[in-house]
């Protein structure tokens, strides 16, 4: 049996998913998209998993893009199916009930940048480079890039990245709001581990409510989003974790959250 293109490692509530095709710069072919979809579905349903970290194997790439050799063989119908497969994966990641961190350790181009944008937080090595170079292939982004770039960075930056097709460095990506933090490449793993560990110790029900309020509520009109936020706020008052958190604050001690 062929090995999976996605490896899984668990440690203290954090599940690390690594796209393991370094010989292809972790390019996304159909098998890898399907393996990622299955891995995220499993993480969503595993009570022991509090946080998911996504990264790429090897020193060069997070994900250098979709697999061009595979795409070159597609007709229009198969290309539509490939695009929808990628979009379903990105939507699954975006709607995960647990925080998903992208550790961008190198090139994040095309489908790789689209994958990173679907994650909730993005931490980039200072050596990373990001972009949507599909214009150079006679294509447009197909996994949601045109839509998430607008939402994350605004129309001007989205048009610049998609029309010019030139990669940008990590510092420029941070200026645009495309990544949350930029750290020295040698410190990326430890920085991401520290952030993931902090999130793993946070109140899990509140984490999910925040993700839903921002991701789902943020897709609504303002008044609907405010009502959604208010409902999430009120529901947490029915949880033991909320009582524990507020009591611990008043007693000046660390809270012990139990996801109840």
Residues 129 and 231 in one domain: no
Q: What are residue 15's DSSP bridge partners?
A: 10, 52
In the residue annotation, 114 being an active-site residue is answered as yes
**SS3 sequence of 172-225:** HHHHCCCCCEEECHHHHHHHHHHHHHHHHCCCHHHHHHHHHHHHCHHHCCHHHH
Residue 241 pLDDT > 60: yes
**Residue 2: pLDDT band with limits 50, 70, 90:** low
Same domain (yes/no): 98, 113: yes
Query: Is residue 224 in a domain?
Result: yes
> Does 166 share its domain with 188?
yes
CATH of the domain at 212: 1.10.12
Q: What would the pLDDT profile of 82-126 be if each residue is shown by its tens digit?
A: 999 999 999 999 999 999 999 999 999 999 999 999 999 999 999
Tens-place pLDDT, residues 6-29: 999 999 999 999 999 999 999 999
pLDDT at residue 1 in the model: 45
134 is catalytic: yes
Which residue in the list 34, 70, 134, 229 is annotated as catalytic? 134
Specify if 88 maps to a domain.
Answer: yes
Which of 200, 222, 239 marks a domain boundary? 200
Residues 227, 195 share a domain: no
Burial state string for 212-245 with b = 16 or more CB within 10 A and e = fewer than 16: bbeeebeeeeeeebeebbeebeeebeebebbebb
How many separate domains does the chain show? Answer: 2
* Same domain, residue pair 56 and 177: yes
Q: Are residues 187 and 209 in the same domain?
A: no
Residue 185 has pLDDT above 60, yes or no: yes
28-44 per-position pLDDT tens digit: 999 999 999 999 999 99
**Mean pLDDT, the chain, integer:** 94
Whether residues 39 and 99 share a domain: the answer is yes
- Indicate which residue of 23, 70, 81, 114 is catalytic: 114
Quote the domain boundaries for residue 240: 204-250
């Amino acid at each position: 049996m062929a090995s999976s293109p996605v490896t899984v490692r668990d440690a203290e509530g954090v599940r690390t998913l690594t796209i393991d095709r370094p010989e292809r710069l972790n390019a996304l072919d159909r098998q890898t998209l399907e393996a990622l979809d299955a891995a995220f579905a499993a993480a969503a349903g595993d009570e022991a998993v509090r946080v998911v970290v996504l990264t790429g194997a090897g020193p060069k790439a997070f994900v250098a893009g979709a697999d061009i050799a595979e795409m070159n063989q597609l007709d229009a119908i198969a290309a539509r199916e490939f695009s929808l497969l990628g979009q379903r994966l990105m939507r699954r990641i975006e709607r995960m009930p647990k925080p998903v961190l992208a550790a961008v350790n190198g090139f994040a181009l095309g489908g790789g940048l689209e994958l990173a944008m679907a994650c909730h937080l993005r931490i980039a090595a200072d050596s990373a480079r990001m972009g949507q170079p599909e214009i150079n292939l006679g294509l447009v982004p197909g996994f949601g890039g045109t839509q998430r770039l607008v939402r994350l960075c605004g129309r001007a930056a989205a048009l610049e990245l998609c029309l010019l097709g030139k990669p940008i460095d990590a510092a420029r990506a941070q200026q645009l709001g495309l990544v949350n933090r930029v750290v020295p490449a040698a410190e990326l793993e430890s920085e991401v581990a520290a952030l993931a560990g902090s999130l793993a110790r946070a109140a899990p029900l509140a984490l999910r409510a925040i993700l839903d309020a921002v991701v789902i509520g943020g897709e609504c009109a303002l008044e609907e989003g405010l009502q959604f936020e208010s409902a999430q706020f009120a529901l947490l008052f029915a949880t033991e974790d909320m009582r524990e958190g507020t009591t611990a604050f008043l007693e000046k001690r660390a809270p012990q959250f139990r996801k109840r």
